[in-house]
Every structure is written in structure tokens, then in C-alpha cells.
Amino acid sequence: MSDLGNASEGGTDWRKELKTLGVFVVGFLILFFLPVGMPRFDNALKEGLELTKWYAREHVLLCLIPALFIAGAISAFVNQASVMRYLGPNANMALAYGVASVSGTILAVCSCTVLPLFGGIWMRGAGLGPATAFLYSGPAINVLAIVMTARVLGLELGTARAIGAVAFSVLVGMAMHLIFRREEQAKAAAAAEMPEVEVKRPLWQNVIFFATMVGVLVFANWSKPTETTGLWATIHLWKWPISGGFAAALGAALGFWFGFQWRSLALAALPVVLLSVAFPHAPLIPFVVACAGLTVLCVIHPGEGREWLEATWTLAKQIFPLLVGGVFASGILLGRPGHEGVVPSDWISQSVGGNSLMANFLSSVVGAFMYFATLTEVPILQGLLANGMGQGPALALLLAGPALSLPSMLVLRSIMGTKKVTVYVALVVVMATFTGLIYGRLFEPR
């Protein structure tokens, strides 16, 4: 076995070639035994395609694209340094927990920075408690994920996820702090390298800027209610003019505070207005043109415009292939509401149906160990719910799933040590189980 590891000293790297051969063999075996013709398999393939098409039609344009711009704006414009100040060694503890529990999505823009950040906050900053809160909140309070959850799985589940994630991170952080307080090592004398704070824009301007985009996102996606009267229905009737109003407000914000030229803004707005008058029953057309217009506006305004677009584009490149792959795989395995995939729905409804303690627990454990690429938990959960999973276990999966996975546990172990990781995982699983149980009791029809 000895010299197989010694790589390219002018010769072939055998390990690499063996890996390639392995991939070919596995691929060949799959194709050789492909159960084409078996009705369940053929149907599952069709379900995969149908689900992907449905996502493309219903969610990508109106929901994903605005959410991507929002996430990109957070990445490019929210002042990470000013957030970091609340997590330093002299931070006010209550503030530190509060900030850590919501700032995951702001600070951990590149997923590889989660661990150094965690380590830094733990060793040189506010301590193990806030560090753990941040560690949990990063993947759990992902702007895109919460938006998609609310959109695809329903407002209740989306809100529960958002609130649960924030509450969890504080509780898990505090629990870790309490459990390990005697072991807390002395903080390093040297303060961590806090990045410089550059103030580009007053807070209220940033708030309004984000609010306009959130307004577009919320109202463009306002779903049709079952009753034809009442507040919800009235809003639905007016959703496009309202979204348009928010879009105009966005344009104004860009003009006044971001230095976008008024002439370009007007030129970008013109086709959108014309198209919305010409095609009143096809709002997708002016919407798409508006998004394209925004993109062009960003390109021609170097500095903040381009930075925003770059951040948004980087996210899009990461997320889109994963989402499409995840949706397709989920469709094949789990099917769509009303249609089964490869996995028989009995298996699902028996193991995680209803709202028993076992169902919630099983859901939490599977979620904790399973790896969910960004956003893939949404189509997977959709499939599971359609196959009979209960609402409680669904929430449990949402709270335990994205934040943990077996690979991440192993890496965390190298920083925290086995004992702390085990406690962390146990805390998340237990809390997810009970939160799911309570939610299921409140929202499941008896």
C-alpha cells in the first residue's frame, strides 16, 4: 500500500486515476441496472421534471430573483464591521446574544468564514455563548431560505422557521455557555482583528432601501386568498400597483443615495411602465424587464452598483445549480403533492406522519445528520409533506437540518472538541423535537 500515495514525481497520480475509474464504474453500474420501464421509476422521472418546471414557473422569477438581489445587497452594503463590534471581547452580553442570533446571514457571507468567525468570537470575542448562537443562526437564518420556505411551504411554516431559528440560537448559545462555564478558557490578551468601520450611508437610508425591496418581494408574491372580500383579497387585487410603487421607491433610493443617474433610472423605468400598460394581464413581462433593467443599471454604475451586482451574481451562481439539482432529485424521490416518487408515501407517513414524539425526534435526528445544500431543504420538505409528513416534524427538520450535517459536525469537532460538539448537537436535536411537537399541536388539524 506504501507508495501509492506518492504523487506526481513525473509519473501518474495513481490515486486520482483510481478515483476517476471508480466514478466510471459506479456510473456504469447505475446505467446498467437503470429500472427504465418500471412504472414507479418512469413516473418518478416525470415527477422530477414536473416539479422542476413548476418551480421554474412559480418561484424563480417572482420570488428567487428579488430575494437574490436582497441577499446580494446585504452582502455588499451592510456594514459587517459595525456588526462585529457587538461581538467583541467587551460586548454587552444581552446585545451580543441578540446580534449573534440574527447576524449569521450578514456576517457569514462566504460559508468558509463561519468557522474562523465562530472560533474568533469564542476565543477572542464575546465568548462561547454568542459564538454558538452565531454558529447556529448563520445557516438557519438564511434570507433566501426563509423567503422560499414561506413561499413554497406556507407562511406559517416560514414564520415559525424564522422565529424558531432566532429563538434557538439564543437558547442554544446560552445553554452552551451555562454547561461549559467552568471550562471557559481565558480569552487571549490580544483582541481579535476587528475590521475597520467605514460608514458609507446612515442607517435609516439603508433601512428604507431594504424595505423597498422587501416590499416588492412581499407584494409581488401576494397569494390569492380563498375569499373574494376582505383585506387580504383587496391587497391581492392591488398587488401589482403596490409592487410597482415599491419599485419606484427603490428607484428613488438609488437616485438619491446611491448616486444612480436620474436619466438612466428613467430610461430603465420607461419600458417597464409601457409594458405594464400594454400587457395588464401578464405582469411577468414588465417584471422581468424591470429586473433586467436593474441589472443593466448596476453594470453602468461602477462602485456600489457593480458591487451589488457582483454579490448578487456570486450568490446566484452558487444557488441556482444547487436548487435545480435539489428540486429535480426531490421530485424523483418524493414526487409532488398528490403524486408519488420513488419512495412510497407509506414509509413517510408511518415514520414521520402525525405529531408523535417519535416522529418529531426522528425528523430532528435525520435533519441533524443529513447534509442539505443551500435551499434544497425546501423542495425536499415539500415532497415529504406531500407524502404525509406532519407539520410538527416538518418544522423540526427545518430547524435541525440546515444548521447541522455529519460533515460539519466532524469539522466542528476539530475546533470545539468532541464533548462540546456532542452537547451542541444534542441541544439542537432536543429543542427541535420539542419545538416541532408544540408547533404540530398548535397547527395540525385534529
Residues that bind another protein (CB under 8 A): 80-81, 84, 107, 110-113, 115-117, 119-121, 123-125, 188, 190-195, 411, 414-415
Q: How many CB atoms lie within 10 A of CB 403?
A: 28
Alpha-carbon distances, residue 325 vs 51, 152, 374, 401 (angstroms): 11, 17, 11, 18
- Min dist CB 192 to another protein, Å, is 5
Report CA torsion sign: 322, 326, 328, 329. Answer: positive
- Min dist CB 382 to another protein, Å, is 29
Q: Which is nearer to another protein, 194 or 252 (CB)?
A: 194
Q: Which is nearer to another protein, 81 or 299 (CB)?
A: 81
How open is the CA angle 387-393-398, to the nearest 5 degrees? 100
- Min dist CB 5 to another protein, Å, is 20
Q: Which is nearer to another protein, 82 or 228 (CB)?
A: 82
Residues 6+ positions from 1 with CB-CB distance below 8 Å: none
Q: Which is nearer to another protein, 163 or 191 (CB)?
A: 191
- Min dist CB 186 to another protein, Å, is 15
Q: Which is nearer to another protein, 133 or 432 (CB)?
A: 133
- Min dist CB 116 to another protein, Å, is 5
Q: Which is nearer to another protein, 30 or 112 (CB)?
A: 112
CB 87 within 8 A of CB 126: yes
C-alpha cell at 207: 433601512
- Min dist CB 211 to another protein, Å, is 25
- Determine the Cα–Cα distance for residues 172 and 167; give it in Å rounded to an integer: 9
- Determine the Cα–Cα distance for residues 126 and 88; give it in Å rounded to an integer: 5
Q: Which is nearer to another protein, 141 or 412 (CB)?
A: 412
- Min dist CB 134 to another protein, Å, is 11
C-alpha cell at 327: 428540486
Q: Which is nearer to another protein, 102 or 121 (CB)?
A: 121
Q: Which is nearer to another protein, 118 or 246 (CB)?
A: 118
C-alpha cell at 167: 429563538
C-alpha cell at 69: 438581489
Which residue(s) pair with 9 in the sheet?
none
- Min dist CB 101 to another protein, Å, is 18
Q: Which is nearer to another protein, 345 or 405 (CB)?
A: 405
- Determine the Cα–Cα distance for residues 292 and 269; give it in Å rounded to an integer: 11
Our CA dihedral for 418, 419, 421, 423, rounded to 10 degrees, sits at 160
Q: Which is nearer to another protein, 318 or 356 (CB)?
A: 318
Q: Which is nearer to another protein, 9 or 193 (CB)?
A: 193
Q: How many CB atoms lie within 10 A of CB 22?
A: 10
The CA-to-CA distance between both ends of the chain, in Å, stands at: 62
* Residue that is written with C-alpha cell 467587551 in the block: 90
- Min dist CB 420 to another protein, Å, is 15
- Determine the Cα–Cα distance for residues 345 and 325; give it in Å rounded to an integer: 22
Nearest CA among 329, 425, 438 for reference residue 393: 438
Residue spans of alpha helices (H) in 335-417: 345-352, 357-369, 377-386, 391-400, 406-416
- Min dist CB 97 to another protein, Å, is 18
In the chain, what is the greatest distance between 2 CA atoms, to the nearest angstrom? 77
- Min dist CB 81 to another protein, Å, is 8
Burial label, 39 (beta-carbon count in 10 A; 0-12, 13-18, 19+): exposed
- Min dist CB 119 to another protein, Å, is 4
* Residue that is written with C-alpha cell 424595505 in the block: 211
Residues 6+ positions from 388 with CB-CB distance below 8 Å: 345, 346, 348, 349, 352, 353
